[in-house]
Amino acid sequence: MSGATESPPLASAGMWKAWVLLCISEAHRMGMAPVATSQLHVILYLANTLADLFGVTRVRGRVLKRGAYPFFPDVQREIDRLAFSGVLKIEHVDFGAKNHLAAHYAVGPYGAQIFEQLLDRSPEAQRTARLLRELVCACFGRFLAARADIGSIDANYGDANVLEGEVVDFSEWSTENNNMKLARHLIDRLRALRPDAQRDGVRLYCDYLDKAMALI
């Protein structure tokens, strides 16, 4: 399968909105919505790191290392816009420490129609939806239903060579995408048992996260 490419900067806001809607819609189809803010950002991050497995155009190849899980502040603004416009809806809000708010998102009154239009008109959206479907299923079926703090054990975000406050670059300027390296390694190990192991890369990487998080 061909490798992922990076989306043009001016197109990234629109692509983020599409990815967010596709992700929430796939979660809804599998009965896993609403999706918490932290869960959504983790899925979007993992989808960008593992985009090569599905030949999907990556939206971004970097994230700022700050906090227990990957978070995109500019993407959160696009998520809020989708909620305010009725594409998404906020089911409820958790109030955490230090007045921290965490919304839980579901498909809004206009979201279902736009989701179907995306799939009908765009093969790229179809591939992206499949990637997100695999991630939602694999992550929520394992660690993500209970916790989102993958930061310390994710192969990219947890790299000890990248300090808090620095940029984790997994494909923007650097080609050191450790998540893909680990996924490829796991695929190669499985390929000896099943020739079509390529399609299992997402599940295998999420299995790794699940088992590693159980130890911390």
More confident residue, 1 or 135: 135
What is the extent of the structural domain holding 69?
A: 9-213
**Span 128-181, pLDDT tens digits:** 999 999 999 999 989 999 999 999 999 999 999 999 999 999 987 777 899 999
**Span 95-118, pLDDT tens digits:** 876 667 889 999 999 999 999 999
Q: Is the dihedral of CA 204, 205, 209, 212 positive or negative?
A: positive
Residue 94: alpha-carbon gap to chain centroid: 21
Check: CB of residue 136 under 8 Å from CB of residue 29: no
Note whether residue 3 is domain-resident: no
Note whether residue 35 is domain-resident: yes
Note whether residue 1 is domain-resident: no
Residue with tokens 């703090």: 149
| Percent of the residues in the chain that have a pLDDT greater than 70, as a whole number | 88
Note whether residue 154 is domain-resident: yes
Note whether residue 44 is domain-resident: yes
Check: CB of residue 201 under 8 Å from CB of residue 186: yes
Note whether residue 2 is domain-resident: no
pLDDT in the model for residue 174 = 76
Q: Is the pLDDT of residue 2 over 50?
A: no
d(CA 143, CA 209): 8
Structurally, the chain folds into a number of domains equal to 1
Note whether residue 106 is domain-resident: yes
pLDDT in the model for residue 142 = 92
